[in-house]
Amino acid sequence: MEIVIIGGGFAGLNLAKELLNQKDVRVTLVDKNNYNFFPPLIYQVATAFLEPSSISYPFRKFFAGKKNLQFRLGKMQRVIPAENKVILHNGELNYDYLVFATGAETSFFGMENVKKNAIPMKTLNDAIGMRNTLLKNLEKAAICKDMRQRRKLLTIVVAGGGPTGVEVSGMFAEMRKNILLKEYPELAATASNIYLVDGGNALLSPMSKESQEDTLKAITELGVIVKLNCQVTDYIDDTVHLSNGETIQTKNLIWAAGVSAMKFEGIPEESYGRGKRMMTDAFNKINGTQNIFALGDTCIQLSDENFPGGHPQVAQVAIQQGLNLAKNFKLMIENKPLIPFKYNDKGSMAIIGKNKAVVDLPKPKKHFNGFFAWLVWLFVHLFSLITYRNRIKTFINWTIAYFSKDQSLRMIIRPDKKTKVEV
C-alpha cells in the first residue's frame, strides 16, 4: 500500500507516525517546508520570546531510520485521480491512497490593501518577518523627530479576537510594560497604543461566557484597547479603517482575523464546501473520489452528530483525524470494517499574559482562569511539541523570560535578497 500525504502539520505527521513499521505500508510525506513547526506558539517567535528552532524540527531528522517512511520536499500543484498521480513543482508521485493534510492559509476576505500591507501570522516565515518588521519600526521610532510619525511606528493594531489575537496582544502589552522603556529610553515621552479589533460582540467567541468576560477584563487591565462589533475594512496610507467609521494611524496592522483552506486542481469543484474546505464522509474520504482523503483544517466533515456544521479548525481535530485514518488504513489491510470519526473535545484555552490564562473543559464542564489556568496552558503546549529537544529549549526560554521578564532574542536577521534557493 503506497500512501502519499500532502502536508506535515498536526494531521499529516500524526498519520505518518502511527503507520511507522506497519507491514505492507509505505508512506511518503510531502511538504513545501523541510520542517514541522508548532503553530500555537508562532506568536512567541514573532515577539522574540522563542527562537524558531524551539518550535520546529526537520522532517528528515525525524524520519531518519524509519524504513517505511520517507520525506519529499515539494509544492503540490495538481492531482490526476484517474492515474493515481500527484504532480509536484519538482516531479511527480504515484499513490494507492492520497491524503490532503494541507491546513489553511491566511484569508484577507478579498481586501487587497490589507493583503498587501498587513502583517500575517500563519507560518514560521510570517513570524520571522513580523519580528523583523516590529524591531525595525522600533529602531526607526527611536530616531524619529516627528511625533506623529513616531506614534504610527509604535501603535499596533491586531485584527482578530480569537486565541492568536488575544495572545499576541497580551504579549505586546507585557513587552511595553517590561522591555520597551528599558531598552528604548528615547521613547519615554511617546505614548504607544495597542488595539485589538474583532467583528463579534466578545473575544474568544468559541469559548465560554466566563472565559470571554475574564479575557476582556484581563486584556483591558494590561492596557490593550479592545474594539468589538467592528471590523477592519481597509488599510492604506498607514491608516486602518474600521467598519464603525473610526480610523487608526499605524504602520503595524497584524492580521489574525481569518483563515481559508486551499483548492487543488484535480479535485472536483463540487467536493468543496464552506471556506474552500474539502467535504468528506465519516471516514475522511473526499466526496466524489475513490481513494483520496482530507484531514484537519482542509476538510469539513458533516457526519459527526455532535458537530453537524463541521468540526472547529483546531489542532485536536487534526490530530485525532490523523490517528483515526491510520487505524482505518490498518483495517483496510485486514479487510475489516472501518471506524467513523468522532471528535473528542478535550477543551480549549488561551493565554493572556504572565500568570493570566483561561481554560474551558467540556467534561466535566469547568472553567478556570488566572495562575492555575496559565500553568495548564504551559503544560499542555510544552508537551504538545514534537520532540524532547523542542520541549527542553522552550522550557528554558520560558523560565528565563518568567524570572527576567525579558528575552535576549531580539535580533533583526535579514536574508540576502540576492540569494534565492530553489529545489
The answer on pLDDT for 413 being more than 90 is no
The runs of H, that is alpha helices, within 177-314 are: 181-183, 209-221
| pLDDT value at residue 75 | 95
420 pLDDT band (50/70/90 cuts)? low
Q: Where are the beta strands (DSSP E) in 314-404?
A: 348-353, 356-361, 366-369
| pLDDT value at residue 416 | 59
Average pLDDT over residues 353-364: 90
| pLDDT value at residue 198 | 95
- Output 335 or 191, whichever has higher pLDDT: 335
What are residue 73's phi and psi, to 5 degrees? -80, 120
Q: Report the share of the chain in percent with pLDDT over 90.
A: 76
The answer on pLDDT for 358 being more than 80 is yes
Supply the mean pLDDT for the chain: 91
Average pLDDT over residues 240-254: 96
Kindly report the CATH class assigned to 112-258+348-404.
alpha beta
Chain centroid offset of residue 202 CA: 21
The answer on pLDDT for 91 being more than 90 is yes
Distances (CA, A) of 115 to 92, 111, 118, 257: 32, 6, 6, 12
Cell numbers linked to 314: 483546531
> What is the β-pairing status of strands 225-227 and 194-197?
parallel
C-beta pairs of 390-397 under 8 Å, 24+ apart in sequence: 390/38, 390/54, 390/55, 390/56, 390/57, 393/51, 393/53, 393/54, 394/41, 394/50, 394/54, 394/55, 397/49, 397/50, 397/51, 397/54
Q: Rounded to an integer, what distance in angstroms lies between the CA atom of residue 222 and that of residue 241? A: 24
**Numbered ranges of CATH 3.50.50.100 in the chain:** 112-258+348-404
Going by the DSSP 8-state scheme, the letter that residue 237 receives in this structure is T
Q: What is the pLDDT of residues 103-149, one digit of tens each?
A: 999 999 999 999 999 999 899 999 999 999 999 999 999 999 999 99
| pLDDT value at residue 253 | 97
> What's the farthest any 2 CA atoms get from each other in the chain?
74
Per the listing, cell 525579558 goes with: 406
| pLDDT value at residue 418 | 54
| pLDDT value at residue 276 | 93
Average pLDDT over residues 78-95: 96
Please, what sign has the CA dihedral across residues 355, 369, 202, 312? positive
**Numbered ranges of CATH 3.50.50.60 in the chain:** 2-32+74-104+261-333
When mean pLDDT is compared across 230-234, 255-259, 322-326, the lowest value belongs to 255-259
- Name the residue among 251, 218, 298, 260 with its Cα closest to residue 140: 251
CATH architecture of 2-32+74-104+261-333: 3-Layer(bba) Sandwich (3.50)
364 pLDDT band (50/70/90 cuts)? confident
Q: What is the pLDDT of residues 166-220, one digit of tens each?
A: 999 999 998 888 888 788 888 877 778 999 999 999 999 989 999 999 999 999 9
